[in-house]
């Protein structure tokens, strides 16, 4: 499958699954804009793709609507939106600190919702827009020590179904991919 002439935006695109998505899209010819929240990971991305004019990266946190809107202001075209940024922690539900719970809800659910809101107008500008949200198999099966993470991913299932109904008539498909456990820095933590 060729993605020549298409532009994709990948949140969480500087590490783990997101970086693998960026690499795959570039191999298939897409212009890719990654969003990452870590200065170190953004720098590593720039180093890896220094010779590639079709791969770029922006420093932004998906929990910050203003930061996402600043990225969008520089864009004129978008074909594929991949809200992939996420956080996870392995802890018993009764021991999960409020701070960790809020970070997970704000990144995994709110961040995806806001990412879709901010970038959807670019997708509506021409037919054939695609949204592919990274969910998790845990949204269906649940996982030990990951109650909050599972709850956020289950919430994404509802979001995907609702956006597919709402945006389908406008020519934009909305789907989710639910990988199992993939070895990444996030799952090793």
Which amino acids are annotated catalytic? Answer: 149
- Exposed/middle/buried for 89, CB within 10 Å: 0-12, 13-18, 19+? middle
**Measuring CA to CA, how many Å separate 136 from each of 22, 141, 155, 157?**
19, 9, 11, 9
Torsion on CA atoms 166, 75, 152, 140, rounded to nearest 10? 60
**Tally of CA atoms within 13 A in the half-sphere of 124 that contains its CB:** 12
C-alpha 67/C-alpha 188 separation (Å) is: 28
Are residues 84 and 62 in contact, defined by beta-carbon separation less than 8 angstroms? no
- The neighbouring-strand residues paired with 31 are 7
Which 3 state secondary structure label does DSSP give 154?
Answer: helix
> Shortest CA distance to 159 belongs to which of 179, 175, 182?
175
Joined together, the tokens standing for residue 40 give 């170190």
């Amino acid at each position: 499958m060729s993605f020549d002439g298409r532009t994709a935006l990948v949140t969480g695109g500087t590490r783990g699954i997101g970086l693998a998505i960026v690499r795959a899209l570039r191999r298939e010819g897409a212009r890719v804009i990654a969003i990452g929240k870590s200065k170190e990971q953004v720098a590593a991305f720039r180093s890896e793709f220094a010779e590639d004019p079709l791969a770029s990266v922006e420093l932004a946190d998906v929990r910050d609507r203003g930061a996402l809107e600043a990225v969008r202001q520089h864009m004129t075209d978008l074909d594929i939106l991949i809200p992939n940024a996420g956080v996870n922690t392995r802890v018993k539900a009764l021991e999960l600190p409020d701070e960790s719970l809020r970070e997970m809800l704000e990144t995994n659910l709110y961040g995806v919702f806001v990412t879709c809101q901010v970038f959807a107008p670019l997708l509506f500008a021409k037919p054939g827009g695609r949204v592919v949200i990274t969910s998790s198999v845990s949204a269906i099966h649940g996982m030990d020590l990951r109650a909050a993470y599972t709850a956020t991913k289950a919430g994404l299932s509802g979001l995907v179904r609702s956006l597919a109904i709402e945006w389908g008539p406008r020519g934009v498909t909305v789907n989710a991919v639910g990988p199992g456990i993939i070895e990444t820095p996030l799952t090793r933590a």
